[in-house]
Amino acid sequence: MAQSRFASGVAYVDGRVTPLAEACIPLTDYGYRRSDATYDVVSVCNGAFFRLDDHLARFRASMQALRLDPELSDGDIRAILIRLVRLSALREAYVAMDCLRGAPKTGLPPHPLNCRNYLAAFARPYVSVISPEAQARGAHLIVAEVPRIPEASIDPTVKNFHWGDLTQALFQAHDCGADTAVLADSAGMVTEGPGFNVFSVTDNVVSTPDRGALAGITRMSVIELCAELGLRCEVRPVAVAELRAADELLICTTAGGVMPVSRLDGRIMGNDRPGPISATLRERYWKRRTEGWHATPVDYTPADYQEAAS
């Protein structure tokens, strides 16, 4: 299988399966020209999807919110994602699903109502927003100067490609020598970071923002883990000042899992290593996943291996 043409990634675009490096979309599609698309990402660990049905449900809700319909059922999308992982033979994978609005149909006005919608998806080797080395020492964050796009303009609970503010924040973090950034809204309340949710720990109470952020699947998992561990967890407004004064911080996302933070705006937290609660949540998250928590195992059949090698 190491010789498979799909080993480094495989894509599905509007009914066609290709190696990931060969996948493409038309330049005139609104999904590209206007960021008129939504997406979701699910991970595979030890040959099993994590919370696949939760990701599909959120993907469907995002499509409905943006009036996108690829004319595929959740079962159809589920089957496509599983097939991609089987074709790649990857046991550790980052699997994305996108719904894009195409170009206006010939002879019709250039209105989004006149565009066909379609599905694109891919599976590639697993990636993390924070390197393993940075996770081991604890991520270094800044609070970005750029504010998060207002909720009234872009609904943050709908996954989207409007990353202008997040991209600026990443450059600001790089210029400060940090790994990544967290963004606040115009009122000084914490929202989220580029692709991740944020948790703070103060006096053994775990808190995460209730606004301006995606309802992350990994975030939901952290809340469940807090309940398992008997930790008080609050979903509520979190001010930047509270974040800066916290005992511990952690960030979480599909691409990396639970990741402790050791510095914020240059302030060293604890002993400049992951704090005890953050480290415990990280350890418990991966332990539960290896135990099959919320898992959908992939059946890597010989038939798919033959197709991948062809």
Phi, psi at 201, each rounded to 5°: -130, 120
**Which token pair is 90?**
């990857």
Do strands 267-268 and 257-264 pair parallel, antiparallel, or not at all (unpaired)? antiparallel
Digit-coded pLDDT (tens) for 65-105: 999 999 999 999 999 999 999 999 999 999 999 999 999 99
Mean pLDDT, the chain, whole residue set:
95
Say what the alpha-carbon torsion angle 242, 176, 197, 68 is, to the nearest 10 degrees. Answer: 130
Q: Residue 302: its pLDDT value, please? A: 64
Cα(238)–Cα(250) distance, integer angstroms: 14
Q: Which domains does the chain have, with CATH numbers?
A: 10-126+294-309 (3.30.470.10), 132-274 (3.20.10.10)
pLDDT tier, 4 (very low <50, low <70, confident <90, very high otherwise): confident
**Which token pair is 284?**
């418990």
Digit-coded pLDDT (tens) for 256-271: 999 999 999 999 998 9
Q: Residue 308: its pLDDT value, please? A: 47
Digit-coded pLDDT (tens) for 6-44: 989 999 999 999 999 999 999 999 999 999 999 999 999
Name which residue leads in pLDDT, 309 or 148: 148
- AA identity, residue 298: V
Partnered with residue 142 across adjacent β-strands are 181
The predicted model gives 128-137 an average pLDDT of: 95
- AA identity, residue 217: I
pLDDT tier, 148 (very low <50, low <70, confident <90, very high otherwise): very high
pLDDT tier, 307 (very low <50, low <70, confident <90, very high otherwise): low
pLDDT surpasses 60 at 303: no
Digit-coded pLDDT (tens) for 158-190: 999 999 999 999 999 999 999 999 999 999 999
Q: Residue 306: its pLDDT value, please? A: 46
For residue 259, give the nearest of 189, 199, 214 by alpha carbon: 199
pLDDT tier, 310 (very low <50, low <70, confident <90, very high otherwise): very low
* Overall pTM surpassing 0.85 (yes/no): yes
pLDDT surpasses 50 at 221: yes
Cα(189)–Cα(305) distance, integer angstroms: 50
pLDDT surpasses 60 at 304: no
Q: Residue 301: its pLDDT value, please? A: 81
